[in-house]
Structure 1
Amino acid sequence: MDSFMTLAQTLETYRLKVSIQKKGYSQECYRIAQLLRAPIASKVCREVSSPDIASYRDARLLDLNSNTGKPISAATVRLEMSLLSNVFDIGRIEWGVCETNPVTNVRKPKSPPGRDRRLLPREERLIMRYCHHHKNRELYSLVVLAIETAMRQGELLNLAWEHINLRNRTAHLPETKNGTQRDVPLSLKAREAIMRMGAKTRGKVFTYTSNGFKSSWRYMMIRLSIENLHFHDLRHEACSRLFELNTLDIMEIAAISGHKSLSMLKRYTHLKASRLVKKLEGNKSRGQQVVLNHLVPYPAVASESSIGFTVKVLDFDDVHGVGYTLDAAIKAAQDALLRHLMIALRDRIFIPDPDQYLEPVNDEEIFLLDPLNTFIEPARITA
């Protein structure tokens, strides 16, 4: 090879000879395209210095993401620098286009902390209701499978009917991100999500393309006003729920999720503190714990009309209080909430956690109604 190749020429050679052999070929092409647009790409490869790499790093960190308008993440810049480092290593060892790797001595941006975003119960209900009524029924099944199986988006979109064994209740993934095959157990909900697509003998289960599905997910988040929830966060949620079952060990969960590194699996699992509290308390005063766990404040709104005041508890359709004065309505709503919770406990009726209501309400109008305690005055009364 020409020993005076520019970095741009070296990057193109790398793309044609090295990147094309990788599973992440398309992603690496995006990074190479970004590097080709940088001023550093026009320099002869052997003349690129560590200060040049540092300048590229600093300039990239000031760039804005064209989709979100936010600064480019440190993780993105780290990946680009890792790619550059590999290009220089291969260029030095195999192609002879440089003598050193200038990336080696340059500090990479600090790794951001792993995401700990959990799917909130109300968000899950909103998403499921939206997906259930969506014109493309695939959206509902994909979300259910993501939560039930911890599969990645690419693994879900590549699911094939010939690799699904409903008798054994497994889905075979012949090709995964880390290059190994694995079999994923299918829960009852997961099997129902697959079967509603209409069982076939061959072919893909889903017709969504990667870009098409990403677009549908982004649009859904905007419509539902859900912030900072990525589809990949459902994999986080699924792994965390597997841990919270307390029936599987870490190796069994790794076999389901496909994590090769147990340290990486740890990043995906963020156990809910409420589950840990139950473990700490053990079985002491268990009956009391069950009752007190449900006698908690619930969101409510107060409204005024010509005949008085009404206080409605948002998580229940039929729990409210009315009175000629606000205090009387609040007291009536407290009594109604306490009575509803105690009857539900007695009759073993499901009691939702607070803040799972789907009714659109102005946040400034909401206050917490405690069935046992004194009331805190609401921020605003609805006319």
Structure 2
Amino acid sequence: MSGQLILRDALTRYNERISSQKKGFEQERYRANSICRHPLATKPIAEITTVDIAGYRDDRLATLFGPIGKTISPSTVRLELSLLSDLFTIAEIEWGECTTNPVTKVRKPKIPPGRQRRLERYEEKRIQRACVQTNNDLVSRIVSFALETAMRRGEILGLLWEHVDLVSRVAHLPDTKNGSKRDVPLSLAAVRILNLQGPKVSGPVFDCNVNRFKSAWRLIIQKTRIIDLRFHDLRHEAISRLFELGTLDMMEIAAISGHKSLQMLKRYTHLRARMLVSKLDGGKNFHRGVRAIMQIFLPYPASVKTENDLFHLSFPDFDDIQVVHENRQAAVEMASDALLRRLAGLMKDCRIPPRPNMTIDEDSPEFMLISPV
């Protein structure tokens, strides 16, 4: 055992011999670079102790990251410690450069609760509106496709036309994050998105690399002023919506999402209580009929603006309903009649109306509920 191999050189060797064989090579290289910037990287690995590792852990947890000055997350530090632990094991057993693994005896940062971020309807509309304003149809379609399929960003950007069967409505993913292949069923909405892309015999479905998409997504989120929304949250939202359909069991959803662990799948799922209300009513035909009518003729929020002594009423959920009148009460009554006709028309066409968006949009000065009956 030479005892002179410093941590920085050990990480370089590890990247070349070990990390390069892994699917997450780029992520491990990024973590290794972060470790190399710490003073610990200049120390011989045979001399690194548990005290050194604990000091590194505490330094990283106190490190500020990004333009808003957030601290490094405990999950990130745990991943870095995991990388170090594997390196020390390899260095001890295969390289003979140390005699112990100091990482195994050091406390790991506590994992924070899983994210419970759900995408609100007004946020989805803002994103799509921003995509239209910036002439970015590609991002718009990728966002919609993610919500329809629950596929990861890398899976979507790596999807090839030769792996898409529009007849059987299945997208084949031969290489996924967890190392296994899977087939994703495509909804009619997902098929429409694919048709808009212009089906081909081969090649990428969405011709966009990861860095380009990251930049485009970041610009869209900045433009919409949506707080704390990551693209991966769309997968979370899509999986939760699959549960809320009430027609699929957990094993079927796991087959769609690709989760091997049902416990991990559970972390992604946060059902909205309003979606569980129908199950409380039982399965009687009378209840189903009454519930169906009640779910259609609901009050909807309307935006109220006053310009030149005229009252302007519009519905965020129905872009085609616009009412203008000099009398406020008359405008409300006209809006109610227009809403009733719109909902009745949807019912006649056997179409399901959108759920009322009860989240107030910051861009609207006043909101009120308009009942159709």
- Secondary structure at the aligned position of 1:300 is classed as strand
Contact 1:91 1:98 in 2 (8 A): yes
Amino acid at match of 2:130: Y
Whether 2:355 is the aligned partner of 1:353: answer yes
Name the stretch that deviates more: 136-145 or 55-64. Answer: 136-145
Contact 1:295 1:341 in 2 (8 A): no
Contact 2:61 2:74 in 1 (8 A): yes
Contact 2:321 2:338 in 1 (8 A): no
Q: CA deviation at 1:151?
A: 1.1
2:304 maps to which residue?
301
- Secondary structure at the aligned position of 1:104 is classed as helix
- Secondary structure at the aligned position of 1:141 is classed as helix
Whether 2:274 is the aligned partner of 1:274: answer yes
1:264 maps to which residue?
264
What residue ranges of structure 2 are gaps of 5+ in the alignment?
Answer: none
TM-score by length of structure 2 reads 0.86
Deviations 1:282-312 (A, max 9, x none): 357555545555544625335364xx56363
Contact 2:130 2:223 in 1 (8 A): no
Contact 1:291 1:345 in 2 (8 A): no
Deviations 1:243-293 (A, max 9, x none): 122222211211111111111111112212111112113357555545555
Alignment of 1:17-36 (within 5 A): 17-36=17-36
Name the stretch that deviates more: 187-196 or 314-323. Answer: 314-323
Contact 1:301 1:367 in 2 (8 A): yes
Deviations 1:290-348 (A, max 9, x none): 5555544625335364xx56363543554657566xxxx2x445544544444445442
Contact 1:118 1:236 in 2 (8 A): yes
Whether 2:129 is the aligned partner of 1:115: answer no
Q: CA deviation at 1:93?
A: 2.1
Quick one: distance in 2 between partners of 1:202 and 1:295?
46
2:92 maps to which residue?
92
Name the stretch that deviates more: 191-200 or 343-352. Answer: 343-352
1:196 maps to which residue?
196
Amino acid at match of 1:300: S
Contact 1:74 1:109 in 2 (8 A): yes
Identity %: 48
2:104 maps to which residue?
104
Quick one: distance in 2 between partners of 1:321 and 1:290?
31
Q: CA deviation at 1:21?
A: 0.6
Quick one: distance in 2 between partners of 1:289 and 1:199?
41
Quick one: distance in 1 between partners of 2:167 and 2:141?
19
What residue ranges of structure 1 are gaps of 5+ in the alignment?
Answer: 373-383
- Secondary structure at the aligned position of 2:104 is classed as coil
Quick one: distance in 1 between partners of 2:226 and 2:67?
17
Count of residues in correspondence between the two structures:
364
Quick one: distance in 1 between partners of 2:216 and 2:15?
30
2:76 maps to which residue?
76
Name the stretch that deviates more: 13-22 or 186-195. Answer: 186-195
TM-score by length of structure 1 reads 0.84
Name the stretch that deviates more: 76-85 or 161-170. Answer: 161-170
Q: CA deviation at 1:134?
A: 4.7
Quick one: distance in 2 between partners of 1:200 and 1:67?
42
Q: CA deviation at 1:148?
A: 1.3
1:241 maps to which residue?
241
Amino acid at match of 2:175: E
Name the stretch that deviates more: 259-268 or 1-10. Answer: 1-10
Deviations 1:47-81 (A, max 9, x none): 21222112111111222223553221121111111
Q: CA deviation at 1:351?
A: 4.4
Whether 2:15 is the aligned partner of 1:9: answer no
Q: CA deviation at 1:127?
A: 2.2
Alignment of 1:1-383 (within 5 A): 2-66=2-66, 68-132=68-132, 134-282=134-282, 283=284, 285-286=287-288, 289-290=291-292, 293=295, 294-296=297-299, 298-303=301-306, 305=308, 308=309, 310=311, 312-315=313-316, 316=318, 318=321, 329=328, 331-347=329-345, 348=347, 351-355=353-357, 362=363, 365-369=365-369, 371=371
Quick one: distance in 2 between partners of 1:85 and 1:361?
48
Specify whether residues 332 and 113 from structure 1 end up closer, same or farther in structure 2 by C-alpha distance, changes over 3 A only: farther
Deviations 1:151-170 (A, max 9, x none): 11111111112222222222
